[in-house]
Every structure is written in C-alpha cells, then in structure tokens.
Amino acid sequence: MIDRHDYSPWDFWSTASENSRRAQRSWQDRLERDHPTWAIGDDCFVSQIAAVDADELVLGDRSYIAASAYITGVVRIGADCSINPSAVVRGDVVLGDGVRMGALSSVLGFNHSMEPGTPVFRQPLTSRGIRIGDDVWIGSHVVVLDGVTVGASAVLAAGAVVTKDVAPGAVVGGNPARLLRWRVPPAEGAIEATGSSAPAGLRERLTRFADRARADAPDLLARSLDSATGLFTDRPGTRPTVRAHGDAIEIADLLLGSPPPGVDAAELVTRLRGWQDAATGAVPPLDAPDIPGWDDGDTAYHVLSTGYALDLLGAAFPHPIGLIVDATPTSIIERLNALPWDSDPWNAGHHVDALGTALLWTRRRGDAAAPGIAEALVGWLLTRADPASGMWGRPSPDRGLLLLVNGFYRASRGTFAQHGIPLSYPDAVIDTTLRHARDDRWFAAAQLDACNVLDVAHPLWLTRTSGYRSAEVAAVATRLLDDILGQWQAGAGMSFRLADADPGLQGTEMWLAIVWYLADLLGHSVALGYRPRGVHRPEPAPLS
C-alpha cells in the first residue's frame, strides 16, 4: 500500500504511525542484509517503491529517497539530503551534506560513447563522475551531466542543464546553465602584484621552506646513515635499503648540490654499481636471498632510484638491463597486456615506469635492443588510453579514482614525460585529476601522503600548457601548498604521510619534488632555489 510518506517523506519520523516506523526499519535492515555494500544511516527513509539498484550506496543520517527515485552505480549521499520523487541519480556520484534534489531531476555520472559505425546501445559506457558539495539546492527538472563538480552552497535553478562545473555559492540556470547571480559572493583573495594566480605571501613562504630544508639537509641525511654499516636507512631504526640510498643522493643533490656529506662519492658509486646483477641487469633488494624477477615491485623501482642516483653522481649502470635488451616488441606487448590494468592500475603503471626508464638507460649505454621496442611500448599506451579519462584502467568501487590516477602518474612519468612525448588526451587527464583531488578520503589535510599528492601534482604540471581549467588547477595547487609548507620537522625532514611523526628520506625527497611542481604551477618555483634533476625531474631526460 502506498503511503503519503512515499512521496512526502520529510516528516516521516515525526508523523508516521509506529507500525509504519517499524516497517521502515525492517525494510532498511533487509536492504542492508541483501546488499553488503550499502550503508544506511540513522533516521533515514527509503521508499519501498523507489528503484534503488546501486552497486554501492551510502545514505547519510536523516536523508531520504522518495517514491519512484532511480539510483544506480556507486552513490555516496551525505547527511540531511533529499532525493525527491522521480529523481534519478546514476553512475559515480557523491553528494555532500544538506543537498536537496527536486522532483524529476537527474544527476548522471556516466555517459555513452558515440563513435560512428556502432549503434549507441552497443557502445561502451564511460564515467568521469559527479561531485556535489554541501548545502546545494537542485531544483526540479534539473539535469547534471557527467564530469561536473558543483561547489558548496550553489543553487541549480529549475530546468537547468548543467554541463560545466559550478562555482561555490553560484546560482545557475538555463540550457546550458550559466551564472545568474551569487547566493554567496566569492571572496576576493589577495593577488600578488605580479598577476600570478598565487596568493600574496606565497613566494616568501616557499623561500622560507627551501631555506629551512637546505639548513637541515646535513642533519636529516646524517640521521639516516647507519654508523655500523655505512649504509642509508629511510629513518633511524629501520633496515638499510637500496631506495634509501637513491633518496639520500637525490636530497643532497637537490638541496646541497653535492653527494651526501660524510660519504665518499667514489665509494658510493662503487657500491651502487656493485648491487646490479650482471646476468639480468636487475638491482635486487638488499635482503633478497636471490635475484627476483622483474615482477618484483622493489626490483622494478630500483631501475629508477638506482639509475638516477648513479646519474646524479656522474656514473651509470655497469651492465645492460635485461628488462629491455632481452625483450622483443611482441614480449613488450604481452607484458603490457598481462598487467592488472582493470584491478590495480597503480601496480600496472609502476611496471610501465620501470620499462620506460630501462629504455632510457639502454639508450644511454648504447646497448643493442630489438627494433620496435619503444614503438611497442609507447604505441600500446597511445592506443589504449581511455578518451574519457585520458588514463589507463578504470576506477575501483572502494577507492574511486585513486589507483587510476596514481597509475597514470607512474606510467606517464616513465614514458611520455621522461621521453618527451605528448599525451593523447591532456584535457581529459586534467578533468580526471581535478575530480580525484576533490576526494577527501585522500586529500583532506589530515589524509595527505606523498604518493597521492605527487600523483596529482605531476599530471597537472605535465598538462599545464593546454591552459584548460587553469584557475581550478591553481586553486588545487594553492590549497595543497597551504597544507604542506608547515609540515617540515626540524632536523629530520618530512613524513611520507604528513599526519605521522616519522620523517624519513622517502617522504622528504618526494615532498620536496611535490612542492616544486605545485609552486611551478603557480609561477613561483624560482623562489625555492632548487629544481629536481633525478627521478622527479620535470624535463625529458637527455639521451647522453
């Protein structure tokens, strides 16, 4: 039996009979039992005649879904939200708190491809996702299309067709939607006299950050040098690693313009070269009982960290790298096809990074490699990039765009960036990266770690010349720098995860590079007085 609360649920818990309340609680319990990926908060209402068929659903406290609403995909709805009668929410959609969605409106976080020659119904779906901030009013008959972000306190007037991002506090209407007026006028931030998009005082803060880092560099390097073995550890109390040596060399080069103090450079070169296996060209972990295959994550990364450490010391690998010299174009394509692009694009990108860097060192050494290796590697990436995201792989239900964006950074760093090759879809990369940077699971100030932030900063820098959404890119760079610049720990550097109190070489090296990229996006990297030259170098690596 249809109850008036199915269509007018806002006063259900204050006016419904006890029997109706009991039935609603039982209904929600059943929904959560039948759908392990659903979570329904307290004092919610879900009409039994709503079509809720989501792969994942989060419904915040005191939110409701009215009759004939249609919900599919991966949908996260905050507290005090309303999905009114016959509203549609589909795809990758996140609503903040206090979002009120009028009847017959649609928020569509996916789209059909439309390449000619194939009927639309046979075309694959694409999804860039929709993010709607807190306290947003969506009038009736509104349509919000895939890829849009709506800022907090905005209003989407009845009948609006929203195809582009809506600024916080804006009131928009029409088809396509345009600014009508301001509900909350934008603050006038102080802008430097240079005309850059950076806020006033940023240049001085960057200079202070870099000066402090240079002053502390000898101490933070010394604290990670194990006096018993003469080897570098990431931080005191941990075991020596190959990567720690690369990080130490990069930090010293960046801040001091020299090898690490107190370490003989010639002995350091001999040690690094001696760690390379002559038969395979691999540098295994220091504690490995034998030589791991190239699928080992540490061994793959040592192509980067050891190769660039030697390069900064004016040396090179003594042996060819089998990852490239033993390969053929066919085996490269087979390796790329076998990587876990759909389930773990970060891991896939990690191994592409090693392939691209091994190709660099092979060219530098002049080692013979099968013709067509580079074409197979880059050609596969060019033809497999998703036009909707600009990236390789797909989002995951539990972590959203995290692995996709992080994998893109690794894959593009080792190939397109390192070898100076243009990307296929730079604007799509910007869209995807900006959308990811709004996910508070990874980018709230208390959640920042060096991997996630670098993997946003570098793609935005790599695509900066397009000028696409440049104001939003600048806003992201400014926000992240605000969260980062005060996190240096005296004499010790920076923690990989900013909220942790365990600074080490890896976190310090990565954050130094991140600060440079973000500052350069704002036109102020010169204030730092350094520029990365190793793994995180911005320019393509020279071939000689």
pLDDT value of residue 400: 94
Contact 401, 435 (CB under 8 A): yes
Contact 209, 534 (CB under 8 A): no
pTM: predicted TM-score of the whole model, two decimal places: 0.67
Every domain of the chain and the residues it spans:
4-182, 197-216+425-537
For the four alpha carbons of 465, 471, 473 and 478, in that order, the dihedral sign comes to positive
Neighbours of 25 (CB within 10 A): 11
Distance of alpha carbon 45 from alpha carbon 477, whole angstroms:
40
The rounded mean pLDDT for the chain is 92
Q: What is the pLDDT of residues 160-216, one digit of tens each?
A: 999 888 888 889 999 989 888 888 876 544 333 333 445 658 889 999 999 999 999
Distance of alpha carbon 209 from alpha carbon 518, whole angstroms:
13
- Quick one: average pLDDT of 18-43? 94
User: In degrees, to the nearest 5, what angle opens at C-alpha 301 toward C-alphas 500 and 491?
Assistant: 35
Distance of alpha carbon 52 from alpha carbon 69, whole angstroms:
7
pLDDT value of residue 164: 85
Give Cα 87 to chain centroid, integer Å: 31
Q: At what angle do helices 426-437 and 470-484 cross, to 10 degrees?
A: 40
Write the DSSP symbol of residue 540.
P
End-to-end CA distance of the chain: 78
pLDDT value of residue 265: 95
pLDDT value of residue 126: 77
Longest dimension (CA), the chain: 84
Residue of higher predicted confidence among 433 and 186: 433
pLDDT value of residue 197: 47
Q: Over the Cα atoms of the chain, what is R_g?
A: 26
Secondary structure (DSSP) of 80-136: T-EE-TT-EEEEEEEE-TT-EE-TT-EEEE-EE---TTS-GGGSPEE---EEE-SS-
pLDDT value of residue 195: 35
pLDDT value of residue 192: 36
Catalytic machinery residues: 112
Q: Does residue 62 come out as left (phi exceeding 0), alpha (psi in the -120 to 50 range) or beta?
A: left
Contact 428, 401 (CB under 8 A): no
Q: What is the pLDDT of residues 98-152, one digit of tens each?
A: 999 999 999 999 887 666 777 877 777 778 889 998 999 999 999 999 988 898 8
pLDDT value of residue 71: 97
Secondary structure (DSSP) of 493-509: BB-SBTTSS--BHHHHH
pLDDT value of residue 50: 95
Neighbours of 186 (CB within 10 A): 11
Distance of alpha carbon 277 from alpha carbon 299, whole angstroms:
11
Neighbours of 43 (CB within 10 A): 12
Residue 508 CA neighbour count, 13 Å, CB half: 39
Q: Is the pLDDT of residue 13 over 80?
A: yes
Q: CA torsion 444→449→452→455, rounded to 10°?
A: 120
Q: Identify the architecture of domain 4-182 in CATH.
A: 3 Solenoid (2.160)
Read off the tokens for 80. 């005090």
Contact 259, 272 (CB under 8 A): no
Read off the tokens for 227. 């006096």
Distance of alpha carbon 96 from alpha carbon 81, whole angstroms:
8
pLDDT value of residue 189: 40
Q: What is the pLDDT of residues 337-380, one digit of tens each?
A: 999 999 999 999 999 999 999 999 999 999 999 999 999 999 99
Read off the tokens for 125. 């779906």
- Quick one: average pLDDT of 507-525? 95
